[in-house]
Amino acid sequence: MNIPLVDLKMQYYTIQNEIKLAIDSVLERGRYVLGPETERLEATLSKYTGTTYAIACSSGTDALLLALLAIDLQPGDEVISTPLSFFASSEAVSFLKGKPVFVDIDPETYCMDPAQIEAAITPKTKAILPVHIFGQCAEMDPILEIAKKHNLYVIEDACQAIGATYKNKKSCSMGDLGVISFYPSKNLGGYGDGGMVFTHNEDLFKAARDFRTHGEYPKQFKHKRIGTNSRISEIEASILNVKQKHIDAWNQKRRDLAQNYDRLFSENNLRSHIQIPKTGSNNQHTYHLYLIQTAPKESLQKYLAERGISTGNHFPKPIHHLDCYEGQYAHQSFPIAEGFCEKSVSLPMFPELTFEQQETVVRNIKVFFEKR
Ligand SMILES: Cc1ncc(COP(=O)(O)O)c(C=O)c1O
């Protein structure tokens, strides 16, 4: 039996008819970018996240860029973030000629450790960019408090954490701005690229909205700012309008599956070989990914692959060790993030995964350790 890391087609089959109708209605309407489907998606998701404004755009990466443009990030400005993320969270800062400044992660949640932020602040610091990694929120209260004290913006990267809560508040609703990604494998994934920016602040909203479309709001060919083209397609928005209705049920399914993995690892006496993920005491996790940590990472992944079980490597290197930053962070180390990258293995996780498939995964992990 082959067990994939993610199976997007299985989910499609559960909503196939609705999706086809939604796409067809866009084709019939004849409006293909930034139309009523986009507006409906923005209204629904700003309500869902508990924010005032939403701007749909062409990817999570662009959502980060629009958020950073909205706060007027200037070359040389510093943004404090985490080395344990998909590259885009730092790339967007560097792309605008800002400087990502890293702090290490919390060993329990794998999100940025708020206790290390103040030491990283300099006169050039403009913002803090926590990443709600793998599906749970960073410890937001101390982050927001530090930001307030030092007059810094907070941009929540919730690309992996739509629907996740911290103290019952949804991701994207706590900072000045929040961003999500609709990349197909995300918890709310489209059938192409897409992203969204959220805020409570009208000025930041207007800025991000204008940058999305060449700075030309409200009139075409009247360019108030130098922006970009980061529009989302109506077909993508219509698909997401169908899928968003399922997000809470899918996130709950992921939590059930995570709990089942936890139970299976305990019952099979594997906890001395592997570390399972933990949920912060203020958090409700959405398990975009389920990662274990184990020393024989590569040999375990190879063993499982030979038996038809796919695993992932999120992330092989922390951001400060990536080639594009060669030398720039050579004098710094973030041992918890570095150790995590050396030992972490991402296990199959998607709402349609079955308990039987999970049992197969864990049984094979058990045999692997018995043979060692
Ligand atoms: C934490 C994080 N930030 C940003 C992004 C970028 O999103 P996108 O792929 O939609 O550009 C991703 C996507 O993988 C992500 O996981």
Per-residue pLDDT tens for 280-295? Answer: 999 999 999 999 999 9
Q: Quick check: CB of 238 below 6 Å from ligand 1?
A: no
The SS3 assignment for 170 reads strand
Q: CA-CA distance, 324 to 300, in Å (whole number)?
A: 29
Which residues lie below 8 Å from residue 176, measured CB to CB, with a gap of 6+? 71, 153, 154, 155, 199, 200, 201, 204
Domains in the chain, please, with CATH?
Answer: 8-245 (3.40.640.10), 247-371 (3.90.1150.10)
67 lines ligand 1 (CB under 6 A): no
Question: Is the C-beta atom of 61 inside 6 A of ligand 1?
Answer: yes
From the CA of 195, how far away is ligand 1's center (Å)? 9
Spatial distance between the Cα atoms of 20 and 45, rounded to a whole number of angstroms: 22
Tell the residue number behind the tokens 């083209």, with chain if given: 229
Q: Does residue 239 register a pLDDT over 90?
A: yes
Residue where the block lists tokens 């980060």? 64
pLDDT one-digit tens code per residue, 265-321:
999 999 999 999 999 999 999 999 999 999 999 999 999 999 999 999 999 999 999
Q: What is the pTM of this model?
A: 0.98
Q: Of ligand 1's atoms, which has the minimum distance to the CA of residue 131?
A: 1
Question: Two tokens at 227?
Answer: 């922006």
Q: Is 195 in the pocket of ligand 1 (CB under 6 A)?
A: yes
